[in-house]
Amino acid sequence: DAGVIQSPRHEVTEMGQEVTLRCKPISGHNSLFWYRQTMMRGLELLIYFNNNVPIDDSGMPEDRFSAKMPNASFSTLKIQPSEPRDSAVYFCASSLRSSGGEQFFGPGTRLTVL
Amino acid sequence: KNEVEQSPQNLTAQEGEFITINCSYSVGISALHWLQQHPGGGIVSLFMLSSGKKKHGRLIATINIQEKHSSLHITASHPRDSAVYICAVPGGMNRDDKIIFGKGTRLHILP
């Protein structure tokens, strides 16, 4: 298995632009997580899905952030409009189950908003 | 809400030394995770444990449920062990409680 796949690996954009991050979880995993990591706040859970359904999105910073999981093999995290304070590394992870299950992380997308 | 504390925050040691990283949490949990993040940024899950001890190569993780404490040990440390080690626990005992991360321990092994 190729593991969790994220794209793009790096994204540089200007303030106000829409940004879409993509994730393909490990086949057979039914939980998917989006995390953000910054120097100031460390790793934070933004949202997670169980069987393609969003379970907890309380970590999503504000309405500019949205996430979808249209099927078991694909998820997107969208920021519209982007702001410089959104600059961070965004990780996607998947697991066989949402609570207590070992999570497998993707390589991350490094986002820079100028 | 669960609170996670890791210690030390930073640790520098000589190659070959025995390393211990600690994690304490405030609310009972179903399982605790240890993660490793390399300087390149990739995150790897090392252990998931709910009781006792697990061993993988030179890495050993222990957990004491009563004391709400876990330790990660590295025997015969090597420069390639240099990384940030992160402890993560569920926010509570409910099945869907989201995971909470410690701030990490930055380990630097000198050759």
Token pair for residue A101?
């299950």
User: Tell me, what DSSP letter sits at residue A102?
Assistant: -
User: Tell me, what DSSP letter sits at residue B9?
Assistant: S
B residues 40-99 lying closer than 8 A (beta carbon) to A: 41-45, 48, 50, 86, 88, 90, 94-99
Q: Which residues of A52-76 are buried (b: 16+ CB within 10 A; e: fewer)?
A: beebbbebbeeeebebebeebbebe
- Please name the residues in contact with B25: beta carbons below 8 A apart, sequence gap of 6 or more: B2, B3, B4, B5, B32, B68, B69, B70, B87, B89
DSSP A13-25: E-TT--EEEEEEP
Contact A108/B86, CB-based, under 8 Å?
Answer: no
Residue with tokens 């380990």: B107
Confidence of residue A103 (pLDDT cuts 50, 70, 90): confident
CA–CA distance from A71 to each of A4, A26, A59, A67, B65 (Å)?
15, 13, 22, 12, 37
Average predicted confidence (pLDDT) for chain A: 92
Residue with tokens 């093999």: A73
Q: What is the pLDDT of residues A58-98, one digit of tens each?
A: 888 889 999 999 999 999 999 999 999 999 999 999 988 75
- 3-class DSSP assignment, residue B81: helix
Token pair for residue B107?
């380990």
- Chain B positions in Cβ-Cβ contact with residue A104 (cut-off 8 Å): 45
Q: Is the pLDDT of residue A22 over 60?
A: yes
> Cα–chain-centroid distance for residue B95?
22
Q: In chain B, which stretches have pLDDT less than 50?
A: 95
Confidence of residue A99 (pLDDT cuts 50, 70, 90): low
Rounded mean pLDDT, A38-58: 88
> Cα–chain-centroid distance for residue A75?
8
- Chain A positions in Cβ-Cβ contact with residue B33 (cut-off 8 Å): 102-103
